[in-house]
Amino acid sequence: MGGAVSAGEDNDDLIDNLKEAQYIRTERVEEAFRAIDRGDYYLDGYRDSAYKDLAWKHGNIHLSAPCIYSEVMEALKLQPGLSFLNLGSGTGYLSTMVGLIIGKLGTKSATNDDKHSNYRGNFFSPAGPFGVNHGVEIHKDVVEYARDKLDSFIKTSDSFDKFEFCEPVFVVGDCLEISTESHQYDRIYCGAGVEKIYEYYMKVLLKVGGILVLPIEDQLTQITRTGQCTWDSKNILAVSFAPLVQQSRADGDKPESVQLPPVAVRSLQDLCRIYIRRTLRELASVGDEDGQARRAGAQRVPQKRKRRHCRRRRINTYVFVGNQLIPQMVESEEEHGDDEHKDEEANVQEEEEDKEERDLGEVEILKQTNVFRDHILALPLPESLKEYLLYYRKK
């Protein structure tokens, strides 16, 4: 499934194409897609295919097409502080993007779109204010792969410091065998084809006002729970998904129940880290805005004009004075071959300076991340505590 948009040269180019085709329609979803490089979730040797609008599978590892993930993210109507369950969580790519949205403490008032949500201005359900992010995957090797990719994102990605991240927790198990005592969720996504007989099983995992997105009967479907026994259903997109894999067992064996991670209150230490990082992020943002204003107000240095290097030489010529032809020496300009070589060198230098100016924006983005890190490193704290505040990141 896929191929709805043109291939991109890199992650940002792919997102531009998804926006142009109206698969990505909100700023919140766009920010999450740009923050997570799809290519990082591919195996070495397959990254060249990462920015095509196509699904990819290698063994048990699978990624849906970017246009599908875009529609899913938009259909989930994610808000800060929500709880999310990913059934068939795979590589963790989608769960990581979701974590960038639900992990942030919001401040805006509820809108009509939020009327069924637990999001109410500054008030959240016990799942908030930093959200809950759980995933269930039947293949143990894929769960290990997802955990490795998550660890790499936290430790190395420049995007990590720009968000309050709700870290996904992945468990191994059959998502059709979730314990009946499990808590309910605000948002649920199933990443494999679901038979009609399992639709109700997944719908009851939703809280009232919650949204379930799943492929069923070749349609990507959005289901909203409007009451204890009522749901609204809406088809989003015609799709073709591989069927949900179930746990194999011998006849008569009792299925192994899946215990989802508990919704635990964050430790005081973890809360302190979150709020310290938020404060420093705001300070870094203000400092970056001031720097941008200074740069915008500064007078731009005019470009140097290219000069022709010429030499003068005397030549013999003749002029008419009345009816007489008189020889006379005049000066003529002629470009010197050596000076032409110097001109070429000067032109190359000017082109390099122009390129540096064009790349200034990218440099400033990196500076913002470095400013945030510098704020933490400048704190009068023990080195071990600084490393904790940085999530032990090395860059």
Cα–Cα distances (Å) from 331 to 141, 311, 338, in that order, read 83, 10, 20
Spatial neighbors of 23 by CB under 8 A, at least 6 apart, are 4, 5, 66, 67, 70, 71, 74
Q: Which of 6, 64, 83, 157 is catalytic?
A: 64
**49 tagged catalytic:** no
Q: What is the distance between the alpha carbons of residues 24 and 1, in angstroms, rounded to a whole number?
A: 17
- Bridge partners of residue 178, in order along the sequence: 258
Angle at 71 between CA 158 and CA 68, to 5 degrees: 85
Closest CA to 188 of 101, 79, 83: 83
Alpha helix (H) ranges present in the chain? Answer: 11-20, 27-35, 66-76, 93-102, 140-156, 199-203, 268-297, 337-358, 360-377, 383-389
Cα–Cα distances (Å) from 169 to 86, 124, 142, 162, 372, in that order, read 10, 21, 13, 21, 26
Q: What is the distance between the alpha carbons of residues 18 and 8, in angstroms, rounded to a whole number?
A: 10
- Bridge partners of residue 58, in order along the sequence: 61
Angle at 291 between CA 289 and CA 296, to 5 degrees: 95
Give me the DSSP letters along 262-275.
P-PPPPHHHHHHHH
Q: What is the distance between the alpha carbons of residues 264 and 266, in angstroms, rounded to a whole number?
A: 6
> Positive or negative CA dihedral for 47, 50, 54, 59?
positive
Chain-centroid distance of CA 230 in Å reads: 35
> Positive or negative CA dihedral for 339, 345, 351, 353?
negative
Indicate which residues carry an active-site annotation. Answer: 64
